[in-house]
């Protein structure tokens, strides 16, 4: 009987591990997408800043262009002023000169403001230069690490599935049937429950001292009076390796 109990415990641990692996493998695609999304968020926030810098530079170039035109007009207005033939021409040239000078001064103010904004954005980009430079590499590394972990989980799942079939085949038919029935009945797949501090760890009921003693003896299959799962007490010597 005791060997059967050991086999049942091993089977339970194996099945619990298989459940974990299955759950992890089922969510693998979503978890991989999360990693990609996180890096994409960084990349997109960097692209936003770069786009903003490019926009500001385009604006500055446009204003510089406008200002150059105004300066050309101003030179012409200055010439007109010098060569004015009469009061009327003189006044018209004066007005043009005045208007153009104000315009140019306005452009200059705008350019100064834009340059300061560009400087701020450039500073932000240079602060994040390391992040920008390493982003693609980090993304590839994170995904490669994930894929390696996934491959090892898949391998473990296949090996454990094969091992599980072997273990199950070794059990006496009746016990195997009891185990399967219990495991399939419960949502967590637990058919064999450890007893901790005198309680069943599957349904948390306190076990009668008589039941606790029988479980401690470990010479027969004892089931929980509440949830009917097979009970066991972890042997003291296997505590370190089993945990």
The reply to whether 200 sits near Zn ion by the rule CB under 5 A is: yes
Those residues whose C-beta lies under 8 Å from the C-beta of residue 93, and which sit 6 or more positions away, are 77, 78, 80, 81, 84
Q: Say if CB 20 and CB 27 are below 8 A apart.
A: no
Tell the burial category of 95 from Cβ atoms under 10 Å away from its Cβ (0-12, 13-18, 19+).
exposed
What's the gap between Cα 206 and its chain centre? 41
Q: Which span (114-122, 161-169, 181-189, 203-211) binds Zn ion, by CB under 5 A?
A: 203-211
C-beta of 217: minimal distance to Zn ion in Å? 18
Q: How many binding residues for Zn ion (CB under 5 A)?
A: 6
Using rule CB under 5 A, residue 207 touches Zn ion: no
Pick from 33, 226, 234, 238 the residue near Zn ion by CB under 5 A.
226
Binding mask 141-180 for Zn ion (x = CB under 5 A): ----------------------------------------
Rounded to a whole number of angstroms, the minimum distance from the CB of residue 154 to Zn ion is 34
* Given 221, 224, 230, 232, the residue binding Zn ion (CB under 5 A): 224
Cβ neighbour number for residue 121 with a 10 Å cutoff:
19
Q: Which is nearer to Zn ion, 92 or 203 (CB)?
A: 203
Q: Which H helix or E strand runs over 223?
A: strand 222-223
Assess 203 for contact with Zn ion (CB under 5 A). Answer: yes
Closer of 118 and 207 to Zn ion (Cβ): 207
Starting at the earlier edge strand, list the strands of the sheet with 192-196: 199-200, 192-196, 230-232, 222-223
Binding site for Zn ion (CB under 5 A): 200, 202-203, 224, 226-227
């Amino acid at each position: 009987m005791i060997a059967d109990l050991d086999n049942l415990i091993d089977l339970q641990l194996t099945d619990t591990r298989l459940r974990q692996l299955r759950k992890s493998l089922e969510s693998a695609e979503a978890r991989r997408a999360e990693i990609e999304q996180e890096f994409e968020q960084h990349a997109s926030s960097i692209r936003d800043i770069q786009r903003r810098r490019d926009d500001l530079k385009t604006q500055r170039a446009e204003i510089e262009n406008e200002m150059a035109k105004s300066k050309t007009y101003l030179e012409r207005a200055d010439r007109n002023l010098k060569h004015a033939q009469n009061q009327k021409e003189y006044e018209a040239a004066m007005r043009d000169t005045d208007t153009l000078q104000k315009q140019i001064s306005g452009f200059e103010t705008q350019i100064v403001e834009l340059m300061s904004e560009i400087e701020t954005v450039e500073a932000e980009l240079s602060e994040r230069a390391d992040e920008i430079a390493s982003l693609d590499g980090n993304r590839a590394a994170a995904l490669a690490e994930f894929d390696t972990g996934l491959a090892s989980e898949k391998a473990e799942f296949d090996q454990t599935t094969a091992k599980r079939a072997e273990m199950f085949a070794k059990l006496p038919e009746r016990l195997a049937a009891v185990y399967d029935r219990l495991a399939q009945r419960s949502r967590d797949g637990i058919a064999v429950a450890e007893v901790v501090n005198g309680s069943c760890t599957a349904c948390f009921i306190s076990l009668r001292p008589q039941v606790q003693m029988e479980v401690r003896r470990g010479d027969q299959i004892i089931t929980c009076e509440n949830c009917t799962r097979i009970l066991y007490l972890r042997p003291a010597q296997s505590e370190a390796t089993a945990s």
